[in-house]
């Protein structure tokens, strides 16, 4: 059981470039959640996806940010034209169907994005 | 709606007890508790689904008062390994809904000293 896999662990981008963050959920998990965390701050919800569907994107900026979770392959968080304020740790979590049973969400190790 | 956690920070000596509180202004489906150590991913501790439910994990337990939409995390006889930031996360009740978005509080920094 490999857990939630995120890559890359560290990503450096120049202002104006694109950042692509990948998240492979645990085996058997079909729900994925993305969070952003600034240093010494909490976990800010961004987007909640199920296979091929966006369930809730209320925490994601309307511009430059997008997320997908295709039928095959990992979930992708894409940030276009990055700015210094995008520098943060981005965590992905996954769960099986959350409406059944007392199951927590499993987090990946995160991607630390630095915009220079 | 972000849950409210208190206190923001706690400093303990090994062996002492602590309580961390979490409250919401919205009706809740569940409350989660996680611990995050510096530079690491949050780790799931426990989930509470029913009002008045209390669960335990080693010397860490939690309760959930469904009527007040409040949860408390109890750490007894603290150990050095308990140090970290504790987050409560809540999922709101939605009539007929299927949105299981987990929203976190701002966290409580717990420091256990020898």
Instruction: Give yes or no for residue A77 having a pLDDT over 70.
Output: yes
Instruction: Give yes or no for residue B55 having a pLDDT over 70.
Output: no
Chain-chain contact of B105 with A42 (C-beta, under 8 angstroms): yes
Q: Look at strands A111-115 and A10-13 and give their pairing.
A: parallel
Contacts of A110 in chain B (CB under 8 A): 41
Concatenating the DSSP letter of every residue in A31-56 gives EEEEEEE-TT--EEEEEEEETTEEEE
Instruction: Give yes or no for residue B58 having a pLDDT over 80.
Output: no
**Of A42, A45, A108, which has the smallest distance from its Cβ to B101's Cβ?**
A45
Q: How confident is the model at residue B59 (pLDDT cuts 50, 70, 90)?
A: confident
Chain-chain contact of A107 with B43 (C-beta, under 8 angstroms): yes
Residue A103 has a pLDDT of: 77
Residue A99 has a pLDDT of: 66
Instruction: Give yes or no for residue A91 having a pLDDT over 70.
Output: yes
CA–CA separation, B48 and B18 (whole Å) = 19
Instruction: Give yes or no for residue B114 having a pLDDT over 60.
Output: yes
Chain-chain contact of B41 with A110 (C-beta, under 8 angstroms): yes
Residue B97 has a pLDDT of: 65
Residue A69 has a pLDDT of: 96
Q: Find, among B103, B31, B93, B104, the residue nearest to B65 by Cα.
A: B31
Q: Look at strands A19-24 and B9-13 and give their pairing.
A: unpaired
Chain-chain contact of A55 with B106 (C-beta, under 8 angstroms): no
Instruction: Give yes or no for residue A115 having a pLDDT over 60.
Output: yes
Residue A59 has a pLDDT of: 94
- Quick one: what percent of chain B has pLDDT higher than 70? 90
> From its phi and psi, is residue A16 left (phi > 0), alpha (psi between -120 and 50) or beta?
left
Chain-chain contact of A107 with B41 (C-beta, under 8 angstroms): yes
Q: How confident is the model at residue A45 (pLDDT cuts 50, 70, 90)?
A: very high
Residue showing tokens 């409040």: B70
How many CB pairs below 8 Å do chains A and B form together? Answer: 63
Distances (CA, A) of A48 to A17, A45, A69, A92, B62: 25, 8, 10, 10, 26
Who has greater pLDDT, A8 or A40?
A8
Instruction: Give yes or no for residue A101 having a pLDDT over 70.
Output: no
Beta strands in chain A (DSSP E): 5-7, 10-13, 19-24, 31-37, 43-50, 53-56, 65-68, 75-79, 88-95, 106-107, 111-115
Which residues on chain B place their C-beta less than 8 Å from a C-beta of chain A? 30, 32, 34, 40-49, 87, 89, 91, 98-107
Residue A110 has a pLDDT of: 97
Residue A25 has a pLDDT of: 95
Q: Does A107 touch chain B (CB under 8 A)?
A: yes
Chain-chain contact of A95 with B100 (C-beta, under 8 angstroms): yes
Minimum mean pLDDT range among A27-41, B40-54, B69-83: B40-54
Q: How confident is the model at residue A28 (pLDDT cuts 50, 70, 90)?
A: confident
Chain-chain contact of A91 with B99 (C-beta, under 8 angstroms): no
Instruction: Give yes or no for residue A109 having a pLDDT over 70.
Output: yes
Average pLDDT, chain A: 93
Residue A102 has a pLDDT of: 65
Contacts of B43 in chain A (CB under 8 A): 107
Q: How confident is the model at residue B100 (pLDDT cuts 50, 70, 90)?
A: confident
Over its C-alpha atoms, chain B yields an Rg (Å, rounded) of 14
CA–CA separation, A69 and A20 (whole Å) = 13
CA–CA separation, B96 and A60 (whole Å) = 24
Q: Does A38 touch chain B (CB under 8 A)?
A: no
Token readout for A35 is 């969070």
């Amino acid at each position: 059981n490999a857990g939630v896999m995120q890559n890359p662990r560290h990503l450096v981008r120049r202002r104006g470039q694109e950042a692509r963050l990948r998240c492979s959920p645990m085996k058997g998990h079909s729900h994925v959640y993305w969070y952003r965390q600034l240093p010494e701050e909490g976990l800010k919800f961004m987007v909640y996806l199920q296979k091929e569907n966006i369930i809730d994107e209320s925490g994601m900026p309307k511009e430059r940010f997008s997320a997908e979770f295709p039928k095959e392959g990992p979930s992708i968080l894409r940030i276009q034209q990055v700015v210094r304020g995008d520098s943060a740790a981005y965590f992905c979590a996954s769960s099986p169907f959350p409406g059944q049973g007392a199951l927590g969400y499993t987090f990946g190790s995160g991607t630390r994005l630095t915009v220079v | 709606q972000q849950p409210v956690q208190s206190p923001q920070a706690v400093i303990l000596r090994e062996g002492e007890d602590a309580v961390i509180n979490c409250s919401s202004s919205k009706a809740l489906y569940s409350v989660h508790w996680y611990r995050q150590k510096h530079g690491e991913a949050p780790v799931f501790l426990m989930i509470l689904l029913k009002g008045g439910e209390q669960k335990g994990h080693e010397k860490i337990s939690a309760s959930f008062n469904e009527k007040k939409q409040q949860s408390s995390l109890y750490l007894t006889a603290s150990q050095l390994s308990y140090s970290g930031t504790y987050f409560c996360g809540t999922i709101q009740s939605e009539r007929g809904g299927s949105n299981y978005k987990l929203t976190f509080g701002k966290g409580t920094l717990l420091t256990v000293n020898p």
